[in-house]
């Protein structure tokens, strides 16, 4: 791949501004992009070149070192993939999208073979933790190093021995709890903030360890895994999972991920009615920001689940009431708020030691395109207020006599 | 406007195929398009020319005479506008879109002045009836001459004296009832099929008659108008309309149109909760054909209505249950049907005298892009079955283990 440096703005800017990019490193990177990257990733040179030109592969400087971020997937390389140039070149692949099934039967039987493992899917945000040089970084789904998550990950987990022994492994898991700046959800066993591992994957190839191997490592290094509901024969799985899902839904938890024990077949996800309603309810708290996009797929999930659960009239009525309330009540409540002069806002609490940490986190949010302000900072807790502008503006307009 | 005949395929085809287009008529039409049309419609020649080239203005032959159909709006000319070339040139303008308000207060006060008239909005399909030469035609919203509607309109209404006296007026109204091939809805006072006039408008200008003038004409020619709920002062209207809307919703009827008595200000529409649920329920009977598009706006209407009605917890709960059931129950029912090997279909009954009439109506549907077959023809009634392919295919795929 021959990069035309003059045509590539982001690359030129990057080399102009990068404090650590001396001539020698430039030669290394250029050589890497020209010859090695296409082999490592198994993506054709022209595709990579095109992606760099379009800004899909973005160059940035991370703690004085150059790095690459994949803003979208290219060939088999997932979006959120990061490449760090240090003493050696480290490739942290994006977390692969998990497909969803709406029907347990016959999908599980068709998709898997023999046995499956059922793990809990928690309602938080997806984090990959990896060692890069002498640092440990926590990356969000889209491939951003989140300063808050990175700090908290090493506070919550004792990772030094693990990464000492396994520098080529990546810990994939969910950051969960109420003091969670992206997805706040209360879990009894978690409280403010916690982390649960669901996958351990290899750098560069993204190959996951088998469930047994993963469990062995979690035990050895005393790392907390997600809850495992058991291993089932694929034929008995649908009935077992129906029970699990009802239990999960009643406990107001999200769902499950169904995995091949060898991790050679792609996992599938399946979620609880409670999770669908929860997300619809969130969406209709900010209807003109999220309502349209969130709604349809979640309602369809409810339809297929009700069908597969063979619900009777009373059960259907209950499900319908929950669904209707998840749509209507938050929307009416937001309309009331806006009518009383308030904005449609969302508060998130984070634990931070200093105002500088809050500022750093806000800068991170702004880089992601999220508009938020500090509402309060007290006792090492910051309340961050996100403002949902479309909802505020549109409701204000309609209340003032705007036509629809 | 100088039309380049060679570049305009539809026009060239039209002149090749039109049985009545002799040289003299061609000169008339060309002259009309070149010089007169832009003045009549008050649309710039270039815009009209561009629209003809893009096929937005379509030429067709109607009963041996040339005609033009506006497939989209151009400038102030509504989509569905038709121009007929007979002894004289007749312009039947498309029915103007009626804007919707989600709030009665303050919108009515802002939009109207002094007094308003509240008329019923019925759940059927919009029809314009006009005389063209010695024929009476019934046109659907998008500007198609529907053979069934045309036949039924002159059966239901005695129109000859009206059009004798008023050749330049267009009757605008709703075709309603159960034997309605587009929107089947039961009205006690209508039964199988009926027609209710809501506007009388002038050809070419599309100017509506005032409410009084319209009522006078309806009385004189014994034509049935839509129900009138009264004339209200704009300040008292919101409270009055709330009562009307509750009554309408309980009677499972659709809504109202709010009009300036002089028809100088554009009317507004406002609909009942029952109508919202009814439409959502229809959409989720065929979720992968209509669910996504129908849903959002109707749910938003429910939110604002619940807010403006100042509903208490119990009322909100009832509204939520109705909403949830409108989404969930039809969807589960369709999934069950498809699981049992059926297709997602919709049956419509029409009264027709002969198999030829059914065939003619089916051809009309096919021209509109609607796929339908004759399910049954007996005793002058035809059951027409419309097949909703996306819903059938997508549900079948998901039931067979397709991933979502």
Whole-Å CA distances, A126 to A68, A123, A198: 20, 9, 10
Chain B interface, mutation test: which of A108, A294, A339, A401, most B Cβ atoms within 10 Å?
A401
Q: How far apart are CA A155 and CA A160, in angstroms?
A: 11
φ/ψ (deg, to 5) at A379: 50, 45
Instruction: For residue range A310-330, list pLDDT tens digits in order.
Output: 999 999 999 999 999 999 999
> By C-alpha distance, which of B121, B271, B280, B252 is closest to B185?
B252
Contact (CB<8Å) A102/B320: no
pLDDT at A21: 61
Average pLDDT (B148-153) is 95
Tokens of A367: 């880089």
Q: How far apart are CA B174 and CA B123, in angstroms?
A: 8
Contact (CB<8Å) A319/B324: yes
Residue B39 forms contact with A (CB below 8 Å) = no
Question: Which helix (H) or strand (E) covers residue A199, if one does?
Answer: strand A194-202
Q: How far apart are CA B39 and CA B45, in angstroms?
A: 9
> By C-alpha distance, which of A43, A51, A44, A32 is closest to A76?
A43
Complete DSSP assignment for A299-314 = HHHHHHHHHHTT--HH
Instruction: For residue range A27-56, list pLDDT tens digits in order.
Output: 777 777 777 888 888 888 888 888 888 889
In this structure, which topology does domain B274-339 adopt according to CATH?
A: Methane Monooxygenase Hydroxylase; Chain G, domain 1 (1.20.58)
User: Would you call A195 helix, strand, or coil by DSSP?
Assistant: strand
- The domain segmentation of chain A, as residue ranges, is 9-92, 99-268, 274-339, 345-387
Contact (CB<8Å) B316/A306: no
Residue B401 forms contact with A (CB below 8 Å) = yes
Average pLDDT (B284-310) is 94
Which residue would you say has higher pLDDT here, B212 or A369? Answer: B212
Q: How far apart are CA A76 and CA A90, in angstroms?
A: 17
**Residues of A whose CB is below 8 A from B329:** 316, 320
Complete DSSP assignment for A351-394 = E-SSHHHHHHHHHHHHHTT--EEEEEEETTEEEEEEE-HHHHHH
Instruction: For residue range B314-370, list pLDDT tens digits in order.
Output: 999 999 999 999 999 999 999 999 999 999 999 999 999 899 999 999 999 998 888
Residue A322 forms contact with B (CB below 8 Å) = yes
> By C-alpha distance, which of A218, A198, A216 is closest to A208?
A198
Q: CATH: 3.30.420.10, 3.10.450.740, 3.30.70.120, 3.40.50.720. Which one for B9-92? A: 3.10.450.740
Chain B interface, mutation test: which of A111, A287, A307, most B Cβ atoms within 10 Å?
A307
- pTM assigned to the model: 0.90
Residue A331 forms contact with B (CB below 8 Å) = yes
pLDDT at B7: 45
Residue B266 forms contact with A (CB below 8 Å) = no
Instruction: For residue range B225-259, list pLDDT tens digits in order.
Output: 999 999 999 999 999 999 999 999 999 999 999 99
Q: Decide: A131 and A169 in contact? Cβ < 8 Å.
A: no
Instruction: Say yes or no: do domains A9-92 and A99-268 share a fold.
Output: no
Average pLDDT (A176-198) is 94
pLDDT at A5: 44
Buried b (16+ CB within 10 A) or exposed e, A208-239: bbbbeebbebbeebebebbeebeebebeebbe
Contact (CB<8Å) B321/A322: no
User: E strands of A235-352, at which residues?
Assistant: 255-259, 268-271, 345-351
**How many angstroms separate the CA of residue A387 from the nearest CA in chain B?**
20
Residues 358-377 of B with CB under 8 A from A: none
Among the partner residues B107, B287, B403, nearest to A99 by beta-carbon distance? B403
Q: How far apart are CA B376 and CA B354, in angstroms?
A: 12
Contact (CB<8Å) A303/B332: yes
Residue A235 forms contact with B (CB below 8 Å) = no
**How many angstroms separate the CA of residue B392 from the nearest CA in chain A?**
14
pLDDT at A1: 41
DSSP code at position A94: P
Confidence of residue A148 (pLDDT cuts 50, 70, 90): very high
Size of interface A-B (CB pairs under 8 A): 156
Contact (CB<8Å) A325/B327: no
CATH number for the domain running over A99-268: 3.30.470.30
């Amino acid at each position: 791949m021959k990069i035309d440096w003059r045509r590539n703005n982001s690359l030129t800017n990057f080399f102009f501004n990068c404090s650590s990019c001396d001539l020698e490193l430039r030669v290394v990177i250029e050589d890497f992009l020209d010859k090695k990257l296409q082999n490592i990733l198994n993506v054709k040179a022209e595709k990579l070149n095109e992606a760099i030109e379009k800004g899909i592969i973005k160059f940035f400087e991370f703690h004085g070192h150059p790095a690459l971020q994949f803003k979208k997937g290219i060939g088999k390389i997932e979006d959120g993939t990061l490449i760090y140039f240090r003493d050696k070149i480290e490739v942290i692949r994006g977390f692969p999208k998990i497909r969803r099934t709406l029907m347990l039967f016959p999908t599980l039987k068709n998709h898997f073979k023999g046995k499956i493992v059922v793990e809990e899917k928690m309602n938080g945000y997806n984090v990959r933790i990896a060692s890069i040089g002498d640092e440990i970084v926590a990356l969000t789904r889209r491939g951003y190093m989140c300063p808050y998550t990175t700090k908290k990950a090493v506070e919550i987990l004792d990772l030094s021995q693990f990464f000492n022994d396994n520098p080529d492994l990546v810990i994939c898991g969910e950051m969960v709890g109420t003091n969670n700046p992206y997805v706040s959800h209360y879990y009894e066993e978690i409280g403010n903030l916690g982390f649960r591992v669901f996958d351990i994957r290899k750098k560069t190839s993204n190959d996951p360890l088998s469930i047994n191997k993963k469990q062995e490592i979690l035990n050895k290094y005393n790392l907390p895994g997600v809850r495992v509901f058991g291993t089932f024969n694929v034929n008995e799985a649908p009935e077992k999972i129906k029970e699990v899902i009802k239990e999960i839904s009643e406990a107001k938890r999200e769902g499950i991920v169904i995995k091949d024990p060898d991790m050679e077949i792609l996992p599938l996800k399946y979620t609880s009615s409670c999770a669908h309603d929860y997300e619809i309810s969130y969406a209709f708290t900010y209807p003109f920001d999220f309502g349209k996009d969130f709604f349809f797929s979640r309602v369809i999930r409810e339809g297929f689940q009700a069908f597969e659960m063979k619900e009777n009239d009373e059960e259907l009525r209950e499900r319908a009431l929950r669904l209707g309330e998840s749509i209507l009540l938050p929307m009416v409540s937001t309309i009331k708020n806006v009518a009383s002069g308030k904005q449609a806002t969302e508060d998130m609490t984070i634990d931070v030691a200093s105002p500088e940490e809050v500022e750093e986190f806000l800068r991170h949010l702004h880089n992601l395109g999220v508009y938020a302000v500090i509402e309060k900072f007290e006792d090492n807790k910051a309340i961050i207020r996100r403002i949902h502008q479309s909802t505020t503006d549109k409701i204000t307009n309609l209340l003032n006599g705007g036509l629809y």
